[in-house]
Structure 1
Amino acid sequence: MRIDSPVSATLVSWGNSWLAGHTGLDDAVDRLEAAAGPQVAAADTAADGGECTLRAFLADRRIEGLCALRLALPAPGDPLGLTGPPAFNGIAIDAGQAVIAVLPGRCLGLVPAADRRGSSYSGVRWTVHEASAAPPDLPSLAEAERALTIAMRAATDALLAVAGPAQGLPPAARGEGDAEAMLAPGYPGRAHRVGVLAARLALALRLADERGLTAGQMAVRGKALRDLDRAVRRARVAAHHAIIQV
């Protein structure tokens, strides 16, 4: 399950909406399960406890003082949203995503993985790890939006300058998947706008095609898409944090 799966973003969006009082816990988990199937949470070691439903896990953490959920969308060499410890960072980077639950004096990191049991059960299993309580260094929503606009223009110019059958951004950058990208109730309008644009571009990055290009053309194209990917991930994180400042 990689960054192109919206499961961590969906949990952060609807979980923060619940924590801010804009929706109920049942509505938040129902939305997540409608998108990705049954959800369970389990500690990273058996000694720390057994498996429970994500609904029960969130309710228990709320009693403990859970105040916010942060989104991490890391990539190799760019641990976006992570502040440690190294073992947790490595697991989250391998998954391409994680959710950080902010509690009084500590944080817990949740990393999703596909959960298949038999021929008919398909859901998500969130492994829970201890995470650093240090806040990550992240851009504001306004900063992330400006950087995304600049990166999108630069990538478009670079791709259009590359001769060959793959030119410009794919049509997915112009509107597919908007329903999936919508944030939960309570988010400001600017966050909705940035989140939708970032999700479109994330889809376009997945669909980009290198067939028919020379090695030199692929190098130019690869640099443009890497820069755009970095801006997209920062914009998605900033949009999902806009409802709660942590």
Structure 2
Amino acid sequence: MDRWWDEFVSALSSGEWAAVLLQGLITGSAAIAVAFWILRRQLAADQKLAKDERVEAQRIVQAEKFAAAGASIGRILIQIALSVRDLSNRDLGALLRSTSKPLDIDLSNTAKVEAAIYFPSFNQHVAVARLRERDVLWVVGRNVLASNAALTDEAIGHALRQALAPAQNDLRTIGNELIRWSGEGNLPDCLAVVKSVEPLPTTLQAKTPARNEWKQKAAVSMEAAAKTKLPRSTEAVPV
């Protein structure tokens, strides 16, 4: 027993044993430090991955929400664009004569309200400009009727349909693009569709001479188109 203890004390007091022990402690500490560093890096990577996944999930949910809202607005715009398609010119003229606003004005307002919920800047969208243009053309048509009692329902209906066509076509195009929209990026504005027609001046110009001039041109054009559909008067043939 004493011999074993003496050997242990001798080894403990030797420099070689102490060096081995110290090396073991240093190696163990280094291994623990490396393991801790790897663990921290892995934890940080896992946290970043989880954050990225949350951000991506939120992006997908938001895109799906916007896409659904855009499609809903698009369907309303198409419904408005096709609202007079099945009316004859005579029926359209009679409707203009009897109503101060288009019958689909509620649909138009629904589209604007629904869009404002999801797209705060929709009021500047070209679709809104086209909806307003339709409303203005309806008023212009009624003014043309009031100024020329000779215009028939058939004639003014033909003229109004012709005047509405550019805005209706644009609304249909915009509606289709909104239905196809993925919900990512900016809301499609389809500015390219407003090429061949001089659109109604924007709301920023609503009270300027530019808007009044536009309405005057529209009235002249509409009355001229209506007159082409009036019955030809027969002239008396001398005997």
Same fold (TM over 0.5): no
Higher relative contact order (CA 8 A, sep 6+): 2
**Comparing both structures, which one devotes a greater share of its residues to helix?**
2
Output the TM-score relative to the length of structure 2: 0.23
**Comparing both structures, which one devotes a greater share of its residues to strand?**
1
Output the TM-score relative to the length of structure 1: 0.22
